[in-house]
Chains A and B, each alone.
Chain A
Amino acid sequence: MCGRKRCCRLKDIKPGRRARIRCHHARGAVRQRLLDLGFVPETEIEVIRRAPFGDPIECCVANYKVALRNSEAGLIEVESD
Chain B
Amino acid sequence: MTDTSQSGPQKLLVGLAGQQNAGKSTTFNMLTGANQHIANYPGVTVDKKSGSYRHRDIRVETVDLPGTYSLTSFSLEERVARDFLISEKPDVIVNVVDASSLKRSLYFTFQVLEMGFPVVVALNMMDVARRNGTSVDLSALEHRLGVTVIPTVGRKGRGKTELRNAIADTAARRAHHPLHITYEELEPAIEALKQRLETSQLAENYPTRWLAVKLIEGDSEAERIVSQGLGEYCEPIKAALEIRKKFEDSHYMSVPDYMVGCRDRLATDIISTCVAEAKDGRDRITEAIDKIVLNRFAAPLFLIATVFVIYQLSIVKGYELTTYWWPVLAKLRAMAAGVLPAAGLLEDPYIRSMGLWMVDSANALLNYIPIFLILFSLIAILEDSGYMARIAFILDKLFHAFGLHGQSTLPYILGGVFAGGCAVPGIMATKGIPDERSRMATILTVPYMNCLAKIPFYTLLINVFFAPYKSWAMLFLSTITIFVALLVAKLLTATVLKHRETAPFVMELPKYHPPTLFGVGQRAVERTWQYIKKVGSIVIAVSVCVFTLLQFPGISQEKQANFEGQMDKAVATFHKKIAHTQYADRFRDEAAIVSMINVYNDFKTARLTTKGAEASKALAEKFRADYPEQFKFLKPKKDKDAKAVNKALRGLVSKRKSLRRQIKEEQISTSFLGMVGRSLEPVTQWAGFNWKINVAILSSFAARESSVATIGVLYQQGADENKSLEDRMGAEAGQGGLSPLHALAVMVFFALYPPCLAATIMIKVQTGSYKWMVFSMVFPTTLGFITACLIYTGGKALALSGIQMMGVFYGAVVLTAVCTGLFNSWKGQPLPAPEEAPGLL
Chain A positions within 8 Å of B, measured between CB atoms, are: 1, 23-24, 26-38, 40-43, 49-56, 58, 62-72, 74-75
Contacts and interface: CB of A to CB of B under 8 A. Distances in A.
B498 to A, nearest CB: 17
A58 B70 CA distance: 22
24 contacts: A1-B254, A28-B836, A29-B75, A29-B834, A29-B835, A30-B504, A34-B504, A35-B260, A36-B69, A37-B104, A40-B260, A41-B257, A41-B260, A50-B296, A52-B394, A54-B397, A55-B400, A56-B397, A58-B509, A67-B508, A69-B505, A71-B830, A72-B504, A72-B506
Contacts of A64: 101, 104, 508-510
Contacts of B297: 52
A33 B506 contact: yes
B100 to A, nearest CB: 9
A52 B831 CA distance: 22
B355 interface: no
B133 to A, nearest CB: 11
Contacts, number: 147
A66 B507 contact: yes
Interface string B813-841: 00000000000000001111011111010
A1 B253 contact: yes
A23 B75 CA distance: 23
Give the residue among A40, A43, A65, A74 with the most B Cβ atoms within 10 A: A65
Interface string B388-402: 010011101110100
Contacts of B508: 37, 64-67
Given A42-B264, A56-B396, 17 more contacts: A27-B838, A28-B837, A29-B72, A29-B503, A29-B834, A29-B835, A36-B69, A37-B104, A51-B294, A51-B397, A52-B299, A53-B398, A56-B406, A64-B508, A67-B393, A69-B396, A72-B504
B324 interface: no
The CB with the most chain A CB atoms within 10 A, among B396, B398, B504, B509, is that of B504
Nearest to A68: B506
Contact of B504 (A38, A62, A63, A68): A68
A38 B104 contact: yes
B225 to A, nearest CB: 18
Interface residues of B, number: 56
Interface of B: 69-70, 72, 74-75, 101, 103-104, 107-108, 252-254, 256-257, 260-261, 264, 277, 286, 290, 294-297, 299-300, 389, 392-394, 396-398, 400, 406, 501, 503-511, 829-832, 834-838, 840
A56 B393 contact: yes
A79 to B, nearest CB: 14
Contacts of A41: 257, 260-261
B838 A28 contact: yes
A65 B509 contact: yes
B261 A34 contact: no
A28 B394 contact: no
Given A31-B256, A32-B70, A41-B261, A53 B397 contact: yes
